[in-house]
Amino acid sequence: MTALLIIVPIAVAWALTVRFFWKAGAWLPYFVIGATGMAFLTIFMMRDILPGEDALRIATAFLVHHASWFMGIHTELLRPETGDLMIVGVPHHNEWTRLSIGIECSGLLETAALLGLVTFFPAVPKGKRMRLLFFALALTFLANVIRMLVIVGAVAYGGQAALEIAHVVFGRLVFFLLTIGIYWFAITRPTLATVGARLKASA
Amino acid sequence: MNRILLVGMALSLAVMSLLPTVAGAQASKPGSLTFLSAACSEESSIYQARIVGKDPKSNDHGNPTDPSDIAAYGCKPGPAIEFFMLGGSTDNSLFADDPLKQPLKISTSPNGYDGSATLISSGETVYLEGGKSATRRFSVRGFPTTVTTAAALPFIDLHCGTDGGNNDNADGLGWDNQSVAAGSANYCIAYIFEEKPSAPPPADDPPVKDPPPGNEINLMVHKQVWRDSGKDRWQPLSPPGQATFILSDANGNNLEKFVDGQNFSLKPGDYIVTEAETSEMKLFDLFVSENGGKDCAKDPDGGRSAVTLASEHFEKPGTLHICAFNSAAETGPVAALSKTFVSEADGVVTWRLEPTTAADLWVWDEQGIGCEAFQGATCGNIGGKGTNPARFYAGESRQYLLVTQPVVHEGESCKVTNTAEWAESRNGERGNVSASYQCSGAPTLGLPLFVAFLAVAGIGAYAVQRKLR
């Protein structure tokens, strides 16, 4: 209830501001405020109002767990009382590692950012934007799963000593590269196509 | 007449007033439960039923479990064993004493002895409140507790009261809530398979007869062992005198023990020479030296484990040489301790310790703060510094311990290592096995990386802008 009392006025204020800039044709502030506001509101709603973050954690952990088994890594899926869904990495010479799927590993932040950026990107027609968004969100989820699999694989084959570097460097690098590809697909490529079409039309 | 009526009425009232007291006294009298064991040979009907897959029941002979069942099955009173109450039984439902003041302690485990439950010896009687419904489940210590699945031989079956199904080592009075009548006598009987001892040969009166013909000889056994030291041949055991042999008469009665290389005289007669069993060496062949010499030059063919001496061996005086060939006994799998992670909750990690093969093992785990034993293992004081270690026992399979250890969380991070030691004897040489558990609290370095990214992006944008100019 408290969350609703906070989020509703903020959402209303945000919506009015975005509409103002849209009406005024001030596209830069429209885009910046619209995208960032939507991202923050999405995160807030998914964590405190809807069980969105939980659903993302469950889905991520579930997919990572089954994909790990497919790769020959016998992980274990646990959900302790705190609600964090975890995967326990396979023992590597009598080492067991618990990988907690928190907000960072759930992909929620990236999903919310992508949602805001694509929804309020004005250069692409609305229908096309929504189709692109659907695929981009799915690809972001899969990219996050791949990031987790990199960490699971590093721990399973390299031991607990590999956890830190896998978590901080390798997993993040893989996700970063995949995200660049997703943004290229969802924003850059359609923008280049739109700009290119306009240039041709004006030529 | 009126006086008679009055007296009669008074007597009736007196009797009626006493009846509730008598009835109440009867109702308060506890029931008894006596634990017995039965030894059953191959010929017993319960063993015969068990080996063909049947399930002998407690009422096979018309009544709930009763001491007469033992003889009815063809068994006899059995060895001293111990019973205990399984986890899941109702607290304070069974007592060591008739006034019901000393309740028996129940195992914390529904699947075996936890090391602290009260042990009830066979032949012992315990007591329970008559008319009061409770769950009372029992198992026999020293045999793996099985619930609904048949226990392995030599355990045949356990019958308690009316419960005796499944040939398992878990039955109850009752398995679920059940009451017994006040003052009733109830029984639990464990049926154990025991091979019938072979009857000793009848003691014949020694016939008076002439001494057998022949000469007194000397007998000597020469031990040869196989060496895998590159020479790959049989070599005399050095020094001699390490192997023990047995001289028996024709009826198998042991007459004398002697060692290899020992020379002793033997009067004519019928004898059998065998080697005493040893765990270090396995007998490969045993025969009279073919060339009569003590060098035992001929390679053995194998398979003979006894030499029979008869009249032909006593025809000529002298020394009879026997050759015994041994190779190293096959070693079975070496037992070690295995440790696996089970779970982590509320700052406590649980490890599972179990032997890699059934063996007598002593186990220490100084980091352990709690322990639960299953399938016949015992915890002792596993966390103590060697004062009372945990135990695994040979002959009982699938034993394991759950050992708990605290773990401290620092935010998302935690790490704990556990080392357990084991030995084949309390003071024997110890092996050890370690395992570690870690939480994924690796620093994400989000802000530093973000700053680094901004810096790279800014430098890149500046460079592109300059190039465009």
Q: What is the pLDDT of residues B88-108, one digit of tens each?
A: 899 999 998 888 888 999 998
CB contact under 8 A, A81 and B345: yes
Which among B349, B440, B449 is the top mutation candidate for probing chain A, defined by the most A β-carbons within 10 Å of its own β-carbon?
B440
Mean local confidence (pLDDT), B80-89:
90
Which among B405, B410, B438, B445 is the top mutation candidate for probing chain A, defined by the most A β-carbons within 10 Å of its own β-carbon?
B438
Residues of A in contact with B437 (CB under 8 A): 95-98
Asked if B84 and B113 count as a contact pair (C-beta separation under 8 A), the reply is yes
CB contact under 8 A, B444 and A167: yes
Residue B208 at interface with chain A, using a CB cutoff of 8 Å: no
Query: Residue A177 carries which side chain, given as an amino acid letter?
Result: L
Name residues whose C-beta falls within 8 Å of residue A81's C-beta, 6 or more positions apart in sequence.
Answer: B345
CB contact under 8 A, A94 and B339: yes
Asked if B408 and B345 count as a contact pair (C-beta separation under 8 A), the reply is no
B395 falls in which pLDDT band (50, 70, 90)? low
What is the maximal distance between C-alpha atoms in chain B? 144
B385: pLDDT strictly greater than 80: no
CB contact under 8 A, B340 and A88: no
Asked if B380 and B391 count as a contact pair (C-beta separation under 8 A), the reply is yes
pLDDT at residue B20, rounded to an integer: 39
If DSSP codes are grouped into helix, strand and coil, which group holds residue A124? coil
B137: pLDDT strictly greater than 90: yes
Cα distance between residue B31 and residue B44, in whole Å? 31
DSSP state of B132: -
**Burial of B357 (C-beta count, 10 Å sphere; 0-12/13-18/19+):** middle
Element (H, E) at B235: strand B233-236
pLDDT at residue B13, rounded to an integer: 47
Residues of B in contact with A96 (CB under 8 A): 341, 435-438
Asked if B314 and B217 count as a contact pair (C-beta separation under 8 A), the reply is yes
Count chain A–chain B contacts defined by CB atoms under 8 A: 55
For residue B440, what is the nearest residue in chain A, using CA coordinates?
A: A99
For residue B439, what is the nearest residue in chain A, using CA coordinates?
A: A98
Residue B211 at interface with chain A, using a CB cutoff of 8 Å: no
If DSSP codes are grouped into helix, strand and coil, which group holds residue B401? strand
CB contact under 8 A, A97 and B339: no
pLDDT by residue (tens digit) across A171-196? 888 988 998 888 888 888 888 888 88
Name residues whose C-beta falls within 8 Å of residue B420's C-beta, 6 or more positions apart in sequence.
Answer: B337, B339, B351, B353, B363, B364, B365, B368, B403, B432, B433, B434
- Residue closest to B127 by CA, chosen among B99, B146, B168, B91: B99
The Cα-based distances of B436 to B338, B352, B400, B417 in angstroms read 13, 13, 19, 4
Residue B440 at interface with chain A, using a CB cutoff of 8 Å: yes
- Show the tokens assigned to B54: 């049947």
DSSP state of B78: -
What values do phi and psi take at B59, rounded to 5?
-105, 25
B201 falls in which pLDDT band (50, 70, 90)? low
B150: pLDDT strictly greater than 70: yes
For residue B437, what is the nearest residue in chain A, using CA coordinates?
A: A96
pLDDT at residue B139, rounded to an integer: 93
Mean local confidence (pLDDT), B142-165:
85
Prediction pTM value: 0.47
- Show the tokens assigned to B109: 């485990």
Mean local confidence (pLDDT), A85-113:
75
- Residue closest to A104 by CA, chosen among A172, A191, A11: A172
B50 falls in which pLDDT band (50, 70, 90)? confident
CB contact under 8 A, B440 and A100: yes
Residues of B in contact with A160 (CB under 8 A): 415, 436, 438
Query: Residue B19 carries which side chain, given as an amino acid letter?
Result: L
- Show the tokens assigned to A45: 């709603």
Residues of A in contact with B435 (CB under 8 A): 91, 94-96
For residue A173, what is the nearest residue in chain B, using CA coordinates?
A: B449
Residues of B in contact with A168 (CB under 8 A): 442-445
Name residues whose C-beta falls within 8 Å of residue B255's C-beta, 6 or more positions apart in sequence.
Answer: B247, B248, B249, B271
pLDDT by residue (tens digit) across A39-70? 999 988 888 888 888 888 888 888 888 888 88
Cα distance between residue A57 and residue A53, in whole Å? 6
- Residue closest to B359 by CA, chosen among B389, B397, B403: B397
Of A95, A102, A151, the CB nearest to B435: A95
B55: pLDDT strictly greater than 70: yes
DSSP state of B29: S
- Residue A50: Cβ within 10 Å count: 12
B27: pLDDT strictly greater than 70: no
Chain B residues 78-137 with CB within 8 Å of chain A: none
Of B412, B438, B449, the CB nearest to A97: B438
Residue B318, preceding peptide bond in cis (omega within 30° of 0): no
Q: How many residues does chain A have?
A: 203
Mean local confidence (pLDDT), A137-144:
92
The Cα-based distances of B124 to A170, B67, B191 in angstroms read 68, 13, 16
- Residue closest to B322 by CA, chosen among B341, B304, B348, B349: B304
Residues of B in contact with A78 (CB under 8 A): 343
Residue A94 at interface with chain B, using a CB cutoff of 8 Å: yes
Of A88, A94, A151, the CB nearest to B436: A94
Residue A13 at interface with chain B, using a CB cutoff of 8 Å: no
**Bridge-partner residues for A9, per DSSP?**
none
pLDDT at residue B330, rounded to an integer: 47
What percent of chain B has a predicted confidence (pLDDT) above 90? 13
Residue B52 at interface with chain A, using a CB cutoff of 8 Å: no
Of B440, B444, B449, the CB nearest to A97: B440
Chain B residues 20-49 with CB within 8 Å of chain A: none
Alpha-carbon dihedral A180, A181, A186, A189, rounded to 10 degrees: 100
Q: How many residues does chain B have?
A: 469
Of A78, A81, A163, the CB nearest to B438: A163
- Side-chain-facing half-sphere of A169: CA atoms under 13 Å: 6
pLDDT by residue (tens digit) across B295-349? 787 777 766 778 888 888 888 888 999 999 886 554 455 678 888 888 887 888 9
Chain A nearest CA to B455, separation (Å): 16
pLDDT at residue A14, rounded to an integer: 93
